[in-house]
Amino acid sequence: MSAFEVRIGINPLSWMNDDLPSLGGETPLSTALTEGREIGYEGFELGNKFPREPQALKTLLAQYDLSLVSGWYSGMLAKRSVPEEIAAVDRHLDLLAQNGATVMVYGEVADSIQGAPRPLYQRPRFFSEQQWDAYAERVDAFARHTLSRGVRLAYHHHMGAYVETPADVDKLMARTSDAVGLLFDAGHITFAGGDPVAELDKHIARVCHVHCKDVRPAVVKLARNRNWSFLDAVLAGAFSVPGDGAVDFASIIAKLKQHGYRGWLVVEAEQDPVIAPSYAYAQKGYRTLRSLVDSDTETLSRTKEAA
């Protein structure tokens, strides 16, 4: 039995990519679910091939003895009012709540360039304290609504969006209440120039969901120097599964254990499955996390020192 109450899940991006359907688009969902369960994953996040009717989703996951981890929600609070967002989220929130998910991945897509063929430096930004205050107020009100339905908002800092860098995360967390949880994504915070262990330490009290993706620094450097788009960087292999890059997951897991984190650890590493075969990489990610989760703190320290 693991020393802390976490479950290891995966996002279907390892098999099929929602933003780049050419990556694994031909792979049936049944393949991902069968292989994921066989590897040892306990649950899946949603992708575009999952049914969106609550009972149909419940029936599908039960066939594979899998849980629903969560699901991405494309939010527009940088442009929309809270009542508009509440109306827009209703069906998605119901889908999550009825299938036992306790967190909702919130990704701000207003003005985002994460799917556009534009260099990352052109991402949107809030330039004044007033803009930050107004945005945070809307996020907080929206988060209180989702929480009233039993689902905590897990805010996903993301490349190409308004909240990308460690400084952006700091500003949002400082302006919002505990109703707003933080989705800590080891890959995105590293790509954005942060030290993932330091950033996790800073905001661990707010972390309610964890995306475990590794980073290949040489590719990130090329992406910055050559002004690639986010999707260009993905195609070139900026991200991988835990254990296949430079992120210190031993320290991250040790920090989560120390704080008594409860929730999901989700392998989410968008890659081209032709170059990074889905099963092999999903298995590598699972085995890396499983080993760290099952290790005691002393072993984790030795793992970190050996890295």
Specify whether the CB–CB gap between 285 and 248 falls below 8 A.
no
Q: Residue 199: inside a domain, yes or no?
A: yes
**Please, what is the average pLDDT of the chain?**
93
Q: Residue 60: inside a domain, yes or no?
A: yes
> In angstroms, rounded to a whole number, what is the distance separating the alpha carbons of residues 81 and 42?
36
Q: Which domain holds residue 269?
A: 6-306
pLDDT digits (tens, 9 = 90+) for 107-143: 999 999 998 999 999 999 999 999 999 999 999 999 9
Q: Residue 246: inside a domain, yes or no?
A: yes
Q: Residue 59: inside a domain, yes or no?
A: yes
Q: Residue 271: inside a domain, yes or no?
A: yes
Give the mean model confidence (pLDDT) for residues 201-215. Answer: 97
Q: What is the CATH number of the domain that holds 153?
A: 3.20.20.150
Crossing angle between the packed helical segments 129-148 and 166-175, to the nearest 10 degrees: 60
Q: Residue 177: inside a domain, yes or no?
A: yes
Structurally, how many domains does the chain consist of?
Answer: 1
Q: Residue 1: inside a domain, yes or no?
A: no
Question: Which residues is 43 bridged to in the sheet?
Answer: 9, 67
Q: Residue 236: inside a domain, yes or no?
A: yes
Q: What's the pLDDT at 27? A: 82
